[in-house]
Amino acid sequence: MTYIWGLYRLMKYDKLLWMLGLLSPLLLAQQRELKPIAIELDYFYGSILEHNSDIAHLITGHPTGFNLVYNRKTYGYNEWESRYNYPDWGFTFNYQDMGNPYLGKNYGLYGHFNWYFWKRRLRLGIGQGIAMAGNPYDAEQNYQNTAYGSRFMSTTFLKFNLIEENLFRGIGLRLGTGIIHYSNANFKAPNNSTNTLYFSAGVSYQSQEGVILTRHNHGDWPSEYYSEPITVNAVFRTGLNEADVIGLGQHPFYVFSFYADKRVNYKSTVQLGVDFFFSDFLIYLIRYRESAFPGDGIEPGLDYRRIGLFLGHEFRFRKTAFVAQLGRYMYWPYEFENRIYNRLGLKRYFGKEHFFAAITLKAHWAKAEAVEFGIGYRL
């Protein structure tokens, strides 16, 4: 009888363990739903850098403004979070008085990532977004503003902060420096752009659940386990842009790219490929220069098409990647800018990571040519 009673108790114990086993994913899921946030407010004061003599007349004062930041904290519930030392991601609203009546005031909205170093006291932040120029170029009313040719522009920031979080009940302080770039990427002329170098100070508030949570490690498996064989990709990119000559108009462009890539580990994928460029704005620029500057010796009917070879790298965050490519034109009949071009942007994979979309900025070093909207397929 004692034996039977013991067996019954053991069966009840095993049943309890079985029920807990079923419930544990639900309990973990509830834990993963905790998504602490932090709110930051920074005031900044800076100077416009004279990267181009064409904007010298626009540098008359010191820009001032503020950044209102929403941060989503990470604690290692997803593998990428711990592999990148628990970065933040979120959104930034920026207001900047450019310190010049012709430039006016700019308003920007960004998506951003923050990476931490030095025991989480040093932070690197990168943001990309859209800005609205309060006083863009107008041929009659504001011809002096040769920096912003359109009301809406692309904008990027890079900043470093020394931070001290949770000094008192979630409240923290920060000091920093950074640079804010405004440009419409030759979507419409003129586009001399601006770069503001600034220094900032601010406060932050972190929700209490974020203060008490413990960060989790991804595990002990090597990053190299994510290595993949060489794969072929095809991408189509398009958009609108305009030559630097005011009045030539906006025209579409088309880029066909084919490349092989190799995923090396969890974070990195390397690329080698070829670009075929069909940029209609060059047709009109070549015609303009033929008639306006006959002494330049431009041949009538010069081919506007270009072909380039490039090397690239993807910095992976799960299904999102930062893309960087450096290329050289192998076919370059019309010598626009220079032979070297570069491409930076964001890429997002879908489903089983065969299809992807990308937004990239194509430039010749610091001189932007176009914002490209692309779709692609990875075999």
Q: What are the DSSP calls for 259-270, one per residue?
A: EEEEE-SSSEEE
Phi, psi angle pair for 177, to nearest 5°:
-145, 155
For position 15, what pLDDT does the model report? 40
For position 254, what pLDDT does the model report? 98
The segment with the largest mean pLDDT, out of 2-6, 198-202, 296-300, is 198-202
Does 1.10.1200.10 match the CATH number of domain 223-378? no
**How far is 306 from 299, CA to CA, in rounded Å?**
16
- The mean pLDDT of the chain is 88
CATH 2.40.160.20 maps onto the chain at 37-212, 223-378
For position 171, what pLDDT does the model report? 92
Residue 5 banded pLDDT, cuts 50, 70, 90: very low
Rounded mean pLDDT of 128-157? Answer: 95
What are 32-74's pLDDT values in tens digits?
556 788 999 999 999 999 988 899 999 999 999 999 999 999 8
Element containing residue 14 per DSSP (H, E)? helix 2-32
For position 212, what pLDDT does the model report? 60
For position 20, what pLDDT does the model report? 39
For position 236, what pLDDT does the model report? 98
Which tokens go with 193?
């752009």
Contact 67, 32 (CB under 8 A): no
Residue 367 banded pLDDT, cuts 50, 70, 90: confident
Topology of domain 37-212, CATH: Porin (2.40.160)
For position 221, what pLDDT does the model report? 60
What are 232-285's pLDDT values in tens digits?
999 999 999 999 899 999 999 999 999 999 999 889 999 999 999 999 999 999
> How distant, in Å, are the alpha carbons of 49, 107, 346 from that of 371?
23, 20, 11
Contact 94, 77 (CB under 8 A): no
Q: Is the dihedral of CA 33, 128, 223, 261 positive or negative?
A: positive
